[in-house]
Amino acid sequence: MKHFLASVAVVAAGPAFAASKNPFSAEFYKLSNTDFIVAISFLLFVGVLYYFKVPSLLGGLLDKRAEGIQNELDEAKALRDEAQALLASYERKHGEVQEQADRIVAQAKQSAEEAAEQAKVDLEKSIERRLQAAQDQIASAEAGAVKQVRDEAARVAVSAAGEVIAKEMSAAKSDDLIDEAIKTVQAKLH
């Protein structure tokens, strides 16, 4: 407050000192001197401002404004802190999601590798079964061919033997063989 009054006195005296007339002379204090009238008017204006407590009102308004700004700053700081916490939370969640995605990708790769291995094993088994089936078919075909050859050989042999026996067999020999076969059958049956 004292500084304010001192600054008002300096400001009020400024125009008076700047006037062409000497402020310490008697002529300066006459009502015909406009510089004197301006100085008096200024001092009265400042006095009216003090009387109606304008400086304290202005100070109060400035204090309210400063308080409002401080509240806004505090609120902005709280919002900033909240935003930073939210950002940290999202970054942490992003990290967790990235970790989970990496695990899923790794697990999918491992599953794909295992499936490929299993498919390879299944393919090898399938090929082995088909080879075995082909070998079985070949063996069966060989056995069938051998049987056919044996049957044909037996048929040819029987036919040739029948022809040889028919040529060499006489009626008497035939009767003797039939009698002998009947005796053999009777002996085995009894």
Q: Which residue in 41, 31, 8, 36 sits closest to 21, CA to CA?
A: 36
Coil, strand or helix: which one is 26? helix
Could you tell me if residue 30 is inside a domain? yes
Could you tell me if residue 143 is inside a domain? yes
Based on the structure, what is the number of domains in the chain?
2
- pLDDT at position 13 is 53
**Residue 72 shares a structural domain with residue 139:** no
Could you tell me if residue 89 is inside a domain? no
H runs (alpha helix) in 28-53: 34-51
Q: What is the pLDDT of residues 124-155, one digit of tens each?
A: 999 999 999 999 999 888 888 888 887 887 77
Whether this prediction's pTM lies above 0.75 is answered by: no
Could you tell me if residue 151 is inside a domain? yes
Could you tell me if residue 117 is inside a domain? no
The whole domain housing 172 covers 130-189
Matching residue, tokens 């309210």: 64
**Residue 7 shares a structural domain with residue 68:** yes
Point out the least confidently predicted range of 2-16, 33-47, 83-97.
2-16
Q: What gap in Å lies between CA 100 and CA 93, rounded to an integer?
A: 10
Q: Which residue in 169, 149, 145 sits closest to 157, CA to CA?
A: 149
Could you tell me if residue 121 is inside a domain? no
Q: What gap in Å lies between CA 42 and CA 13, rounded to an integer?
A: 10
Q: What is the pLDDT of residues 52-96, one digit of tens each?
A: 988 898 899 999 999 999 999 999 999 999 999 999 999 999 999
Q: Which residue in 3, 4, 29, 32 sits closest to 16, CA to CA?
A: 29
